[in-house]
Structure formats: C-alpha cells, structure tokens
Amino acid sequence: TESVITHTQLLLQDDLRAGLRADVLAGLRAEPKQIPPKWFYDQRGSELFDAITALPEYYPTEAERAALRLAAEEIAELSGARMAMELGSGSSDKTRTLLDALRPGRYVAFDVSESALDGAAGGLTRRYPGMQVDCVVGDFDRHLGFLPDGEDRMLVFLGGTIGNYAPGPRAGLLAAMAATLRPGETLLLGADLVKDSGRLVRAYDDSAGVTAAFNRNLLSILNRELRADFDIDGFEHVALWDARNEWIEMRLRALRAQRVRVEDLDLTVEFAAGEELHTEVSCKFRREGIAGELDEAGFSTIGWWTDPDGDFGLTLARK
C-alpha cells in the first residue's frame, strides 16, 4: 500500500503577522496589558515548550500519555472513527498511542506551525503504511470550517490546550467544533484537572527556570517580529493560581519602569515598576464541568478516563 501525504496552507506568513500585530496592538493598550498565549510558539518557543514537557514538575504531558494508553482501545471502539483530525497536533507524538488503537485510514494534522507538521508527517507514514496524512497549516480560531469532509470523523484536541481559553471564548470554540461535525461524529478532548495548588504552581514555575525562559521568550518574539525594544531582563516570570477561576496565570512583571517602543505598530507604551503583562491562563477542569460545557455546546459525553493518579482527564463526546 502506498502512503499519501498532502499539504494545505490556510495561513500565510502575512496573515500570521497581521494577527500578531492586531493582538499586540489591542493587548498593549488594554488594562491590564496582555498578549494571547498563541504567540509563544516560534521555533525557540516550541523548543522551550518541548523542554517544559520533559521537566519533573510538569506532570500533564506524561499524565495525558498514561491516560491515552489506558483509554485508546475503548476510544477506538466507542467512537467507531475512521478518520482523525487533530487540532494543534505539533509533533503528533502522543497521538501515536491513539493511532495505534484507532488505525484510521486518514489522519489530518492541523497546526499553525508548518515546520512541526513537516517534522511529523514522514514518521507517521512510516509507522502507519497506507494511512493518508493531511497536513493543514491553519489557525483553529479561524479555520475549523476548512477541515476536510469525510465519514466517521473524530476531532482530537489534546495537551490541555483547551485550558488556554477562558470560559467565554471556550464556549465559542466548543460550539465551532460541534458545528464542523456531523451528528454521530466525535470529539476527544484532553484537559488538565484541578489539584493541589502547590503542584500546579510548581508546574508553571519550575526550578530550572525553563518556564520563565518560555514566558520571557515572548518578548524576544515581539522585539524581532514587530521591531520592539523590550528590555527582556527587565521583566520577571510570575505564575500564580487563581482559586476562584480555577486557572493558572502567567505574567511578566516589570522590575523597573520602562518605556517600550514597538516600531511596526508605531506605538510607545509605558510600564510602571511592578506592572504586569498577562501572557497566559491555563484553566484546570473538573469532570462535571467539562461534561456540562460539552453538553452546552451540543455534545454528549460517552467516555471519561484519567491517568492512574487522576491528574489529567480525557473526554470522548459525540455530537
């Protein structure tokens, strides 16, 4: 059997830059100042994120892998899926555990990063001869409607990326996912669960300082892509647990007052000493909360699994 790899480009370099410009312009004018976490992932940011997933304090990656191992066969049976479409597939590394059980005829890898997709595709076709691999470069906030049609499809959204969405936008994303599926098709959702706040904070403020470097790399991205002049050493990494909203927040705190020029936006912004730039929320979930939100979006939950320690949850839902 021959393997087929296709490539679709929904996101051009120019679109990406226009999106960054719009988000940074709005975010630096907002109170408090904020930049959405989707801009963390340039090449260096992706490398730092991979390094985070290998840290002893950062439990979600291994926990999700363990949950997938326990659940994969049942997911394959319950879903009956013959085609998998993964959003934010990155290296597609953990996905293999699922593909081993599902053995779909077709796998769509959807990511903003073309280099991540290219890196993954060859290995997948070698491991799964005869499986068609479609690489789609796109932004799932805008391009869900372009996912390929097919029969018995399963949307796969792993890694806890859903946690980057606060409740309002999250409802919108889940509804958009439901809208792309036909009745009977499924969604597999990975979500990090509420747990001891000490463990949570350590996962986002590791002792080796990798998460701090990941957070501050955002300022290097702005300096390079938008010709800004952030003094990167003038900001420190902050990670805190918001118990009311049940989310982790990452911020960059100005150690001293500074004026920042963003040439490409023709913008000058002032940071007071101690002022914080909000860079990420990472929501943590409870089983009933996830089921309720999925129900609200038009799904019904048909399966729930966690790793043996109960740290990370996988939900299978049917439209």
What is the SS3 assignment for 20? Answer: helix
CA dihedral over 87, 241, 206, 279, signed as positive or negative: positive
| Cβ closest to ligand AVJ, residue 280 vs residue 293 | 280
Rg of the chain in Å (alpha carbons): 20
* List 19, 104, 159, 313, residue binding ligand AVJ (CB under 6 A): 159
* List 211, 217, 306, 315, residue binding ligand AVJ (CB under 6 A): 211
Size of the site for ligand AVJ (CB under 6 A): 11
| Cβ closest to ligand AVJ, residue 106 vs residue 216 | 216
Annotate each residue in 166-205 with x if it binds ligand AVJ (CB under 6 A) or - if it does not, as one string: --------------------------------------x-
**311 counts as binding ligand AVJ under rule CB under 6 A:** no
Q: How far apart are CA 214 and CA 115, in angstroms?
A: 19
**36 counts as binding ligand AVJ under rule CB under 6 A:** no
312 within 8 A of 67, measured Cβ to Cβ: yes
Neighbours of 167 (CB within 10 A): 12
For 31, 83, 128, the CA distances from 5, given in Å and listed in that order, are 45, 14, 12
Q: How far apart are CA 153 and CA 131, in angstroms?
A: 14
Stretch of residues binding ligand AVJ (CB under 6 A), selected from 4-12, 103-111, 154-162, 181-189: 154-162
**11 counts as binding ligand AVJ under rule CB under 6 A:** no
**90 counts as binding ligand AVJ under rule CB under 6 A:** no
Secondary structure element (H or E) that encloses residue 190, with its range = strand 186-192
Q: Shortest distance, CB of residue 141 to ligand AVJ, whole angstroms?
A: 14
Q: Shortest distance, CB of residue 99 to ligand AVJ, whole angstroms?
A: 20
Secondary structure element (H or E) that encloses residue 6, with its range = strand 5-9
**313 counts as binding ligand AVJ under rule CB under 6 A:** no
| Cβ closest to ligand AVJ, residue 229 vs residue 246 | 246
* List 89, 164, 186, 306, residue binding ligand AVJ (CB under 6 A): 164
DSSP bridge pairs for 277? 252
Q: Give the residue ranges of DSSP H helices in 30-113.
A: 43-53, 60-79, 95-102
| Cβ closest to ligand AVJ, residue 3 vs residue 197 | 197
**125 counts as binding ligand AVJ under rule CB under 6 A:** no
Q: Shortest distance, CB of residue 143 to ligand AVJ, whole angstroms?
A: 19
For 37, 155, 212, 214, 218, the CA distances from 279, given in Å and listed in that order, are 6, 27, 12, 11, 8
Residues in touch with ligand AVJ (CB under 6 A): 52, 60, 159-161, 163-164, 204, 211, 280, 282
